[in-house]
Amino acid sequence: MNAQKVVLDNHIRLLMEPLNEVPSVCIGLWVCTGSRDEAPEENGLTHFIEHMLFKGTSSRDALQIAKEIDKIGGVLNAFTGREYTCFYVKVLKSHLEKGFEILSDIFFNSLFREEDIARERGVILQEIKMVQDSPDEYVHELFYRDLWGEDPLGAPISGSLETVSRFSRDDILDYFQRHYLSSRLILSVAGNLDEREIIRLGKRYFGTGTVNGLRKTEARAAESLRGFHPHDRDLEQLHVCWGGVGCSRTHRDRYPLYALSTYLGGGMSSRLFQEVREKRGLVYSIYAYASFYRHEGTFAIAWSAHGDRFGEIVDIVRGEMDRIHRHGLTEQDLHEIKEQMKGNLLLSLEGTNSRMNKLATDEIYFGRFVPIEEVVANVDAMTLSDIEGALNAYLRPEAFCMTTLGPRVTEESDGGT
């Protein structure tokens, strides 16, 4: 791989990775601003702005934006995270400049018209309600709120019905001008490209942008909570998310912690899937996951089942964690986990979208491109001692937070979490 980085005069970082065996190019404009940058009264503004950048510029209305992308067979989309936002376009190589031009237009020239804000507010409020009506998704939002408390890391990315209902055009413009600075922008481009052409187009469409300034992100870790947090709702199933604090995106424990989540709940052969679903038929799905952020992370186990199975499932999950603490993993276990992790990684990076994502997130968290070979080498270098260290540091049920959504259950239902 020949990934390159160029810093434009206005501080925008331009990242490139040529993949000449594919016909497309994916161009991502990343803003190092996410929901955790918001004050409580601003919760949801980053996501609101993501929506608004598709609603019309000084030269195109929303329909024209959509038509211009459709008629070249391209894809234009965006997503908001807790620590960044991404706007991206994927086009054939022959339409590369059109992709750059449209992406530049929506970012620098969006109008944020009052009538568009009012209309999109309704769309976002429906989106929030849709999540709240999807308990298997909503339980994770509640879990973050219960785990991280009042810290912005625990706030919902889309905001709340209350905050989104209050946002004015002035609120949106003020937030945009304070956070969407060129020093916080990354252009990440992967696909069938020529580096000199990408640099030329990057300078033409993003190098002279007026959104400028320098601002450092505050280095502040979130403080977590623990305990039992039931959210009663009249549902057939009880949805549960149980976990605690993990390590940061750059911590050396990220590989063994991900390995533990893979071993416990990373697929159909995982311990929890086999013990809870296959052997006992108590759930349809049970899984574990690890999420990593700038200063901290999250490890969690999630499932849904009939409420009267709550205590039994908690006992099994606790028993599996206790078993690992007592007996550890074998060398064969570790070998199989490594192969699964490497397979998942390499298969996930086959497309230009995922390569574009990796380029940008490497820059955000590491300040450099991390070759896939280096990641694979780090996975291969894991030892049973590394696993034991992560196990003792992060898989401690006594420090966990448990969120339930559905029929009423009590902490005593499983003998105490």
Clarify whether 21 is annotated catalytic.
no
C-alpha closest to that of 117 among 45, 180, 69, 225: 45
pLDDT at residue number 218 = 59
How many CB atoms lie under 10 A from the CB of residue 355? Answer: 23
Secondary structure (3-state) at 241: strand
Q: Write down the pTM of the prediction.
A: 0.94
Name the catalytic one among 38, 42, 50, 275. Answer: 50
List pLDDT tens digits, range 125-167. 999 999 999 999 999 999 999 999 999 999 999 999 999 999 9
| C-alpha span between 293 and 262 (Å, rounded) | 19
C-alpha closest to that of 94 among 29, 191, 14, 18: 191
Helices (H) and strands (E) in the chain, counts: 15, 11
pLDDT at residue number 222 = 83
List pLDDT tens digits, range 20-47. 999 999 999 999 999 999 999 999 999 9
The structure tokens listed for 313 are: 């499932």
pLDDT at residue number 330 = 97
| C-alpha span between 208 and 9 (Å, rounded) | 8
Which whole number is the average pLDDT over 201-214? 78
Which whole number is the average pLDDT over 191-220? 80
Residues 61, 130 contacting (CB under 8 angstroms): no
CB-based contacts of 169, cutoff 8 Å, min separation 6: 112, 114, 117
| C-alpha span between 316 and 281 (Å, rounded) | 13
Q: Is the pLDDT of residue 17 over 70?
A: yes
| C-alpha span between 112 and 56 (Å, rounded) | 8
Q: How many CA atoms lie within 13 Å of 73's alpha carbon, on the beta-carbon side?
A: 7
Give percent of the chain with pLDDT exceeding 70. 96
Q: Is the pLDDT of residue 293 over 90?
A: yes
pLDDT at residue number 153 = 96
pLDDT at residue number 377 = 98
Q: Which of residues 210 and 379 earns the better pLDDT score?
A: 379
Q: Is the pLDDT of residue 2 over 90?
A: no
Residues 247, 253 contacting (CB under 8 angstroms): yes
Q: Mean pLDDT for the chain?
A: 95
What sign has the CA pseudo-torsion 376, 31, 126, 162?
A: positive
Q: Where are the beta strands (DSSP E) in 127-226?
A: 185-191
pLDDT band at 413 (very low <50, low <70, confident <90, very high): low
> CA–CA distance from 314 to each of 272, 276, 300, 340 (Å)?
11, 10, 13, 26
Residues 167, 112 contacting (CB under 8 angstroms): no
How many CB atoms lie under 10 A from the CB of residue 91? Answer: 25
Q: Which of residues 413 and 60 earns the better pLDDT score?
A: 60
Q: Is the pLDDT of residue 10 over 60?
A: yes
Domains and CATH numbers, the chain: 4-206 (3.30.830.10), 227-414 (3.30.830.10)
List pLDDT tens digits, range 333-353. 999 999 999 999 999 999 999
List pLDDT tens digits, range 313-322. 999 999 999 9
In order, the DSSP letters of 48-103 are: HHHHHTTSBBSS-BHHHHHHHHHTTT-EEEEEE-SS-EEEEEEEEGGGHHHHHHHH
Residues 16, 198 contacting (CB under 8 angstroms): yes
pLDDT at residue number 410 = 87
List pLDDT tens digits, range 224-279. 889 999 999 999 999 999 999 999 999 999 999 999 999 999 999 999 999 999 99
| C-alpha span between 27 and 107 (Å, rounded) | 13
pLDDT band at 190 (very low <50, low <70, confident <90, very high): very high
pLDDT at residue number 219 = 53
Secondary structure (3-state) at 119: helix
Lookup result for tokens 């490209």: 193
